Chain A
Amino acid sequence: MSSAVLQGLPSLGVGLGFRSPFRADLFAQPETCDFLEITAEHYFEPSSAKRDELDLLKSRYPLIPHGLSLSLGSAEGLDQWTLTRLAEVVEDVRPLWWSEHVAFTQAGGVEAGHLLPVPRTRTAIKVFVENVKRARDAIPVPLILENITYELTWPHDELDEAAFLGELLDRTDCGLLLDVTNLFTNSINHRFDPLNLLERLPLDRVVQLHFVGGHEENGRLIDSHSRATPEPVWQLLEAVCRATIPKGIILERDENLPPFQELADELARARRLWKSSVTVAGVVP
């Protein structure tokens, strides 16, 4: 998938990471979102209630499945059960693209329960190339990969974050799901200039953006998806929208849910940024 192919993907606009508590408000104010991102794992072997929920969402919104547990960075390969379930969800939803993370979540038969960073080495890139190839065989829909927050880096890294992501996306031929909040969080916790990193990322591969706010704990930012988006993240989002035209922007609120109107206001602000991005580029949204 060359960057030209990525640029040819249709634009979806602005939306929410769907969580069940949003359902009533979403259907009362359908114009708030242009599309929704669903957590793929929530619909693995769905109960009848989850099946109905998915059908309802499909009937109203374009959906993008977002995987959490495929563990594309696992050197021992992919878990067949997870890959099969993920393929079922994607086949059901028929999205324009689907997404996963630059991370691993399981190894040696043990689940970590969340995203862990991989070493920034060419061996890790080789692992991703093989795993993405296998995922693509099962799921023939464009795949985009998300940058994660990390508490640590591995010893003996061969590349810095920008170089690693650039080479990884190039070798796997995937698009980038740029989580602007993750970029900001890492820049605070690991003390670097996020704009400098942004300039070195392959922005021509950006397909989608994530944004939200986290909280502070013991002097560190935690990516808890639990607060309103802070101003520095808005500024980064604006910088990204000046540099590239994302096909979709998702607000990823999971915790400490506010009244829906607050989310609607954030989405409206994101929509203004997105529209200015496509207007500058002369593209009709």
Chain B
Amino acid sequence: MSGRILSDRVRRSLKREFSRSLMAKIGLFLVVLMVTMATFAPFLAPHDPTQQGLDESNLPPAGVTQTSEEFRMVDGERTTVTVEREGSLEHPLGTDALGRDLFSRVLFGARTSLMVGLFGTLFAVGTGVSVGLTAGYYGGRTDDVLMRFADIMLAFPALVLAIALVGLLGPLTILIPDPFVQLGLVTGMPANFVFPITLTIVVGVVNWVWFARIARGEALSIRQQEYVKAARSLGASDWTILRQHILPNSLTPIIVLATIQVAAIILLESSLSFLGFSGTSLSWGFDIAQGRQYLGTSWWIASMPGLAIVAAVVGINLLGDWLRDALDPGLEGEHGGGM
């Protein structure tokens, strides 16, 4: 098993399941779309997502005409005028209250969601798998202490814990230079990407327990196997056994869970951004919070980023279903938290 993550058998099973399932194809399409959007946002975006223009505020999406009554000062007097706004392809999804282009914001928002989703999951996998393998392999006192700690973590709803941690620790962010802008390939786009560090660590912290439980269970069952005993009698160290025998054999459920967790973490990230705890203003959840004040007049501001979230999470969930069906028919969707 070592050396190659996916065996030929697994590869064949993945292919067979993929060609059979329309849902897997839709899922892959949505995920590829999201990754493309996130990666090439500076090329695809028609405008700088942070550029404001008050004369272009609250423009409806292309093809939609919106009439509203507004107060204007005409000859020094306050009068009500009927304003008609027409959406155009200049701003395909319309603009927000500050005149920022929503399509561009959705593209850049994909970056935040994807980065937090991936790195948050990696953090959770890293922590959870290390703790779980250690607990399961050594057993005894180590196992007791680690798993009691995991119980305490589980005694807390992930979202509540995340809200408390992010809200209290404060939104620490780092600026990552955008390579395309740095190389001069595009101009007029934000030079940096704001990566919410606290948020990413916190979503990992509240989700590692699921991985720890799975890894522990796998380690417990695998360490009794003949080939592990054989390796040990040949003088292999604990570290070698864990790395070469136990980890590769427990990968399947971990990969399936990790896929589903990316979706859960994206939902978690959007919730925390919605509450204003992320520290970045280029995020789907943040835009929904902004649009919440204009539900009566500009329905598109809150709707568009939400549709993006749903599409992304549906895609990842479909991909997760495909992996689960292909890799391990025995697994059911029991794991994962978040909302």
Please say whether chains A and B are actual partners in one complex.
no
